[in-house]
Amino acid sequence: MSEDTNNIELRSEEVQEILGEVPAWILRRGITLTAIIVVVILLGSAFFKYPDVITSSVVLTSTNPAISIVAKSSGRIQHLYINDNQYIDKGSYLAVIENSAKPHDVLYLKKYLLSINSLDTINLLPNKGLEVGNLQALYSSFYLTLSEYIRFKREQYYFLKIKWVQEKIEQYKVSYQDILRQKILVEEQFEIGQKQYRRDSTLFVQKLLSEENLENSYNNYLQRKLSLENICATLNNMQLQTLQMCESLSDMEFQYSEKKNNLETQVNNYITQLITEIQNWELSYVIIAPISGQITFTQYWSINQNIASGEPIFNIVPDEKGLLMGKALLPAERSGKVKIGQTVNVSFDNFPNNEFGIVKGVIKNISLVPSEIEKKKIYIVEILLPKGLITSYNKELPYLLEMEGKAEIITDDLSLLERFLLPIKKVLKENL
């Protein structure tokens, strides 16, 4: 080791000075190059911009989404009227949960009641032996009242009696006019007899007429007077009878109207009550299609299978899906950067994006107030899909009900320089 040290050749001070001093031109060019590089980097970072990406979960839906149907009460499925993937019409019975009523009888009664436009058109009674469960007592009262009403219309007791009295009054009026004409003749006969008696009385005073002839004349006068009084009494009696018949007619018309109105009111009340109770029965036990469309089972369902209240059992996909859109759940964190009109890249879990590509979307709406989901503040973001489910690979994805995926929201661009200066700006602002 000492030998190696001895072999080191020591340089002179001039050589050491030359080797230790960097030439000025190298320093100048090095500083210039470094400055150029820094300027280029700064300019590049100022011009090079890229957006932030905010990721959220998304569910595929539409402006006319599928409807989920849940059980309204717990129990066994008593009747199942549909099959999976079957097309159904709005208002159709899908299933009935076990209860004491026969669905066919309740549906028959409902159709019968809804077919009644006017009570005057009812001529036939419904089936008497319907089994309608909790509606049985109400239906029995309705049946009895309706049968009485139909019998009331069919027998027409009051109507015929009113008609008979009206005809009798008309006959009395005709007879009254006939007797009134007879009265005119009797009055004329009375006046003639009266004049004859006066003449005979004068002749008797003058001794030109016997007492017997005068008595005969007086007797004739009295008979004609009695006939006139009798016919006047007959006319008065007929007027009284006519008034009595008119009064009786008014009473019968009132009784008829009152009976008819009472029966109609009772029948209408029973119809209203039955329709209301049928609606309540349907709300409790019947699963009805709210829209037309294709039905899908949430799981395999069969008769006698138990279901729980509030449990989803069917989904209905409507005929017209409307515009396809996504519903994204946006966390409150960084949500201020999200704006309407921003582009969204949507990828679905069912279709890997490296194989099928992504679907382009645009933010249509952002909820004004966040919802609390799993103790987190979440905004609901509506994403329109202008090209439907056509991906960036020009592949069209099939529409699957409530398909889930990931949404990447492309926010405003920021340059590298801005991103570098933002923390510094924050520190300066907060410390001022």
* C-alpha distance from residue 261 to each of 79, 165, 171 (Å): 41, 22, 31
User: Which segments within 64-161 are labelled E, that is strand?
Assistant: 67-70, 75-80, 87-88, 93-97
**pLDDT tens digits along 206-217:** 877 777 887 888
| pTM exceeds 0.75, yes or no | no
Q: What pLDDT, on a 0 to 100 scale, did the predictor assign at position 26?
A: 63
**pLDDT tens digits along 350-366:** 999 889 999 999 999 99
Q: Which SS3 state, helix, strand or coil, does residue 296 take?
A: strand
The domain segmentation of the chain, as residue ranges, is 11-47, 52-64+320-431, 99-286
Average pLDDT across each block of 10 residues of the chain; the chain has 432 residues. List them in order: 47 54 64 72 57 84 83 88 89 90 93 88 86 93 92 78 82 84 84 82 79 82 85 86 82 83 93 94 90 84 86 85 85 84 90 91 89 85 90 88 87 60 58 58
- The gap between the terminal CA atoms of the chain, to the nearest Å, is 64
**Residue 424 dihedral angles phi and psi, to the nearest 5°:** -65, -45
List the one residue out of 395, 378, 397 whose CA is nearest residue 324: 397
Classify domain 52-64+320-431 by CATH number: 2.40.30.170
**For residue 182, how far is the Cα from the chain centroid?**
75
Q: What pLDDT, on a 0 to 100 scale, did the predictor assign at position 8?
A: 45
* Rg of the chain on CA atoms, in Å: 54
Amino acid at residue number 118: S
What is the widest separation between alpha-carbon atoms in the chain? 218
Residue 117, burial from CB neighbour count under 10 angstroms (0-12, 13-18, 19+) = exposed
The answer to whether 52-64+320-431 and 99-286 have equal CATH topology is no
Specify the CATH architecture of the domain 99-286. Orthogonal Bundle (1.10)
137: number of Cβ within 10 Å: 9
